[in-house]
Structure formats: structure tokens, C-alpha cells
């Protein structure tokens, strides 16, 4: 009964104020069907937020941690060191307060990595900041989307993330793959209540190497690794190595028509291998969630979109989906706790 009445406390750092982050955050929480299921606290700069949405009274409905900043330094549509600095401070404040127990989860607005670099923050993205401040080195980027056509839920974990394509084969190894698979199995149980999951794993090369003719990674170590994982996790159905060009056929059928026999989750080996199909199916509703953290973190699966910032035309569906997923994950973790 206690878990059923649990109202998650979410904090939302609004992202780069020169981009669409403030706009999509405010549009998302203006929808009471989204914001009524949780307690929302925003982290941003009031004077900048008031310019991002047509209703000046919307901010009065929510708690705001106001981090003052010289608004004249922020140029809408142009990310720079100033917008990078304040967006980093928004995120940093959210993490500090969540680690202190003030919030159950973080929903992050989009930032520009290039602006962070200009401001002197040498992180590939928000995920790495979250992991560093939480003191963990075991984490993963899981992309989640619910089909608007059917009830199917697409879940895709990336084995490698923000590295050049030419570095992917060297970055992959049995230890990394084991870590990511462990995280995925744990998350499916902890966050989604799936105790006996079905997980499909992609190959690396065309046709999964074609018995070594199109690349040897599958034959030399990926397939033996997968067989050993099957013995380690007898209650998990592991499928693979599936050729990358056919891995997404079943989830595609399930997404658009409810047909097919999709897995509960997919493990892609590199960034574009996993995210091209995710964005093809779920461009407006995919959510990035960081697994392995001691708290829930979700984020919309889009960037700052500087080219349309300030025009009032940014769509908030992915941010709404990120908030809704954060609510569901917090509630599921609460259920697991009791």
C-alpha cells in the first residue's frame, strides 16, 4: 500500500538555456496529466525560463531552484561557453541534491557537449558526469520507448557510446560485454519487473562475421563469450549473435503492428548500430535512462536544437516521455524495496 501511494520527487535541470531545453521542459510540465504523478522541482534561471514559455504564471505552480546568471550573456540559438557553464551548474546542483536524498530521480534537459568544452568541462556528456559524481564506474545508456501504435516497449542498451567508430573493435572485450549484460539483466529486474528476460545481442560485423570471412570478432571471442553467459544466466534467454541488419526486424514488427516475437531488450555494440533503429521507430518518444546509478535518471533522446530555439515550435513529446518513465522507474524501485 505504501508503494501505491508513493509520489516520486523529480528534479529537472533544464539544460542549455540557449537551446530548446527550457521550452520543452515547460511545455512538458504544463500538461497536468504528466506533472500530476510526481513532485517536480526545476533547476534553472528564472529570468531565462520566463522567456521560454508563453504563460508567465506556469513557474509559480512548481518549485524552482533559481541559479542566477547574467541573462545578457545567453544568446538564444547560440551555444557558447556561457550557456555551457550554467547548464553544467544546473546538472551539478541536481546531482548533489539527489545524492543527499532530496529527490528520487533526475530528468535532465539537453546540453551541448561543445559548449561544455568551451566552458572548460571535459566530459563526453551528462551520463559521465552523473557516474563520476555518484562515484561509480559501472553504468550504461539504456534507451526506452513505448510504441504509440501498440503496447510494445523497445529497450536498447549500448555496449559502447561516445567513441569514434574506428575505435569500437578495440574497445569491445569480454569484460566490457559482461559488465553491460550484467547491468541490463539487473535493470530489467529492478526497473521493469522482468525476472526471466529475453535479450538479443547484435553481432559486430556484416552477417555477424560470416564465420570469420567478414571479420573475426564474432568467431574469435564474441560467440564463445555469449555461450559462457548462457551458462552463467540460465534464467535469461540470450539470443545471438544476431546479424545487425536483421536484429531490428522483430522489434520493428512489434512496434508498428504488434506482430513478431521481439525480445525484452537488445544489446547493441556501438552508438549508431543501436540508435539508428531507435530513432527510426521512436524519434519523438525515445528516452535515455542511465542504468547502474543509485537513483533514477532519464533524459529526452534529442539535443539542444539551437536552430529552432526561441521559435516556440519545439516538440515536448520526448521530454514528457522522460518524465513519465522516471515516475514509473521510481515507483517500480519502490515496489522492489517493499
pLDDT tens-place string over residues 133-176: 999 999 999 999 999 999 899 999 999 998 999 999 999 999 99
pLDDT value at 34 more than 90: no
Q: Go through the domains of the chain in sequence order and give each one's CATH number.
A: 1-136+293-338 (3.40.718.10), 139-292 (3.40.718.10)
pLDDT digits 0-9 by tens, 250-301:
999 999 999 989 999 999 999 999 999 999 999 888 999 999 999 999 999 8
Secondary-structure breakdown of the chain: helix, strand, coil percentages, each rounded to the nearest 5: 45, 15, 40
pLDDT value at 116 more than 90: yes
Binding residues: 127, 162, 207, 271, 279, 288, 297
Share of the chain above pLDDT 90, in %: 85
| Interval 225-235 mean pLDDT | 95
Binding residues for a divalent metal cation: 162, 207, 271
Ramachandran region, residue 15 (left: φ > 0; alpha: ψ -120 to 50; beta: rest): left
Computed over every residue of the chain, the mean pLDDT equals: 93
- Look at residues 176, 16, 174 and name the one whose alpha carbon lies nearest to residue 89: 16
- Look at residues 73, 286, 270, 56 and name the one whose alpha carbon lies nearest to residue 176: 270
The C-alpha cell that represents 54 in the structure block: 508563453
Q: Binning pLDDT at 50, 70 and 90, where does residue 1 land?
A: very low
Binding residues for substrate: 127, 279, 288, 297
Selected residue with higher pLDDT from 299 and 209? 299
How far apart CA 308 and CA 313 sit, in angstroms, is 7
pLDDT value at 235 more than 80: yes
Tell me the range of 9-13, 36-40, 313-317 where mean pLDDT is highest.
Answer: 9-13
- Look at residues 94, 110, 108 and name the one whose alpha carbon lies nearest to residue 290: 108
Amino acid at each position: 500500500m505504501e508503494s501505491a501511494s508513493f509520489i516520486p520527487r523529480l528534479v529537472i535541470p533544464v539544460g542549455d538555456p540557449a537551446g530548446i531545453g527550457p521550452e520543452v521542459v515547460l511545455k512538458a510540465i504544463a500538461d497536468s496529466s504528466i506533472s500530476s504523478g510526481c513532485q517536480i522541482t526545476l533547476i534553472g534561471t528564472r529570468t531565462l525560463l520566463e522567456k521560454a514559455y508563453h504563460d508567465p504564471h506556469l513557474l509559480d505552480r512548481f518549485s524552482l531552484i533559481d541559479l542566477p546568471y547574467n541573462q545578457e550573456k545567453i544568446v538564444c540559438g547560440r551555444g557558447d561557453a556561457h550557456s555551457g557553464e550554467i547548464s553544467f551548474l544546473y546538472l551539478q546542483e541536481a546531482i548533489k541534491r539527489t545524492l543527499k536524498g532530496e529527490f528520487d530521480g533526475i530528468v535532465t534537459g539537453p546540453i551541448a557537449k561543445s559548449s561544455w568544452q568551451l566552458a572548460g568541462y571535459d566530459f563526453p556528456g551528462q551520463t559521465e558526469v552523473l557516474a563520476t559524481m555518484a562515484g561509480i564506474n559501472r553504468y550504461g545508456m539504456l534507451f526506452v520507448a513505448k510504441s504509440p501504435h501498440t503496447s510494445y516497449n523497445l529497450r536498447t542498451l549500448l555496449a559502447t557510446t561516445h567513441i569514434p567508430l574506428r575505435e569500437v573493435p578495440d574497445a569491445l572485450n569480454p569484460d566490457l560485454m559482461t559488465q553491460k549484460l550484467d547491468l541490463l539483466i539487473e535493470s530489467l529486474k529492478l526497473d521493469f519487473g522482468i525476472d526471466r528476460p529475453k535479450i538479443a545481442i547484435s553481432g559486430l560485423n556484416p552477417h555477424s562475421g560470416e564465420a570469420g570471412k567478414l571479420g573475426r570478432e564474432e568467431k574469435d571471442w564474441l560467440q564463445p563469450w555469449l555461450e559462457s553467459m548462457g551458462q552463467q544466466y540460465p534464467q535469461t534467454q540470450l539470443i545471438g549473435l544476431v546479424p545487425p541488419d536483421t536484429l531490428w526486424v522483430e522489434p520493428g514488427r512489434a512496434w508498428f503492428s504488434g506482430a513478431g516475437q521481439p525480445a525484452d531488450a537488445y544489446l547493441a555494440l556501438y552508438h549508431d548500430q543501436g540508435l539508428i533503429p531507435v530513432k527510426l521507430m521512436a524519434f519523438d518518444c525515445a528516452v535515455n535512462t542511465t542504468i547502474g546509478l543509485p537513483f533514477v535518471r532519464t533524459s529526452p533522446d534529442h539535443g539542444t536544437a539551437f536552430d529552432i530555439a526561441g521559435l516556440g515550435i519545439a516538440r515536448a513529446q520526448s521530454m514528457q516521455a522522460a518524465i513519465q518513465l522516471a515516475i514509473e522507474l521510481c515507483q517500480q524501485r519502490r515496489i522492489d524495496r517493499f
